[in-house]
């Protein structure tokens, strides 16, 4: 047994040594790719697939470095998504079903002159990770219900996104990992209640609905639009919002503004900073962005003021 342990240790040490040697002898691009793979725990099943992913990584890296050289208010980096094409990222990680509503312009919006956030106040669960399932709508939905319960009921529940993925159907405008609407998720919770993450754990894929009800209900659902309304809604509780996250994949830090208003992702607005920039909780894990959060430039950046939903 001891000799086997020593042999395994030797093999691990040899593997690490060879990886380091490969990094030292590789081109700068290949070395950067190898470091990124180790950091993100990415691996590929064939040399051909890895070569293709390296080519995609190279294109994305060139874009990231070009954008950072422009000295924007935000910084981009080689995130977990750096080996994906734009089409792959959009199809796997964005899942809000746009209701084809027209863009509402609000010219008289008054930017708040004081900072406000629900962070650190016991009403927001830790950042979660939806994985490669277009279930952002479910995470946005549970986020506002969790906040509602914490503020009004005195306890912060960790609610089940998987129950929504499995149980909220097309009648409520939701298709599980193929996307959905936060308003539909909230209406389903109003009618049936939602259970906890512990009772109905997240799998990140479509499944059969095994628990059709839950103890956590809401009395009513309110949908609003406009930045003035968003400010008022956030003051009441963390608010479910739809955004255009097409260009979010490489966000690392700073105040982001490089986006249109083609709503395709559900997130949770939790506050604003001293300059009135929105503080938003995402569902791509803590390694993305500012520990899972993004700061959006004040106003209707990424369409953040177009569609808001709250539970009461």
Residues annotated as catalytic are 136, 265, 282
Residue entry with tokens 């936060």? 182
CB 283 within 8 Å of CB 241: no
| The token pair that represents 109 in the structure block | 């919006």
In 2-104, which residue ranges form alpha helices assigned H by DSSP?
2-25, 28-40, 47-69, 86-93
CB 61 within 8 Å of CB 250: no
What is the spatial distance between Cα 115 and Cα 101, in angstroms, rounded to a whole number? 30
Distance between first and last Cα of the chain: 62
Q: How far is CA 120 from the centre of its chain?
A: 19
| SS3 (DSSP) at 108 | coil
What is the spatial distance between Cα 33 and Cα 54, in angstroms, rounded to a whole number? 7
Residues facing residue 159 across a β-bridge = 196
Q: Where in 31-189 does DSSP place strands (E)?
A: 74-76, 116-117
What is the spatial distance between Cα 281 and Cα 292, in angstroms, rounded to a whole number? 6
């Amino acid at each position: 047994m001891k000799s086997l342990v020593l042999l395994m240790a030797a093999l691990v040490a040899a593997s690490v040594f060879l990886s380091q040697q490969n990094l030292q002898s590789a081109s700068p691009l290949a070395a950067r790719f190898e470091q990124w793979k180790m950091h993100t725990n990415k691996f590929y099943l064939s040399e051909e697939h890895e070569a293709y992913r390296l080519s995609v990584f190279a294109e994305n890296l060139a874009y990231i470095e070009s954008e950072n050289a422009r000295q924007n208010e935000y910084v981009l980096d080689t995130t977990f998504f750096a080996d994906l094409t734009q089409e792959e990222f959009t199809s796997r990680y964005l899942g809000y079903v746009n209701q084809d509503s027209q863009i509402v312009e609000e010219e008289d919006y008054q930017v708040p002159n004081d900072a406000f956030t629900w962070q650190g106040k016991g009403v927001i669960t830790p950042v979660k990770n939806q994985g490669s399932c277009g279930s952002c709508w479910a995470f946005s939905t549970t986020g506002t219900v969790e906040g509602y319960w914490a503020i009004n009921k005195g306890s912060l529940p960790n609610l089940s996104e998987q129950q929504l993925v499995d149980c909220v159907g097309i009648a409520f405008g939701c298709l599980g990992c193929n996307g959905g609407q936060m308003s539909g998720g909230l209406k389903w919770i109003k009618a049936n209640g939602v259970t906890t993450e512990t009772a109905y754990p997240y799998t990140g894929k479509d499944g059969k609905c095994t628990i059709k009800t839950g103890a956590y209900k809401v009395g009513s659902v309110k949908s609003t639009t406009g930045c003035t309304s968003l400010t008022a809604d956030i003051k009441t509780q963390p608010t479910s919002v739809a955004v255009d996250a097409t260009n979010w994949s490489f966000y690392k830090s700073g105040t982001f503004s490089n986006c249109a208003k083609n709503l395709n992702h559900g997130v949770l607005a939790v506050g604003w900073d001293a300059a009135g920039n929105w503080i938003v909780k995402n569902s791509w894990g803590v390694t993305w962005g500012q520990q899972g959060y993004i700061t959006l430039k004040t106003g209707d950046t990424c369409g953040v003021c177009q569609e808001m939903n709250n539970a009461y």
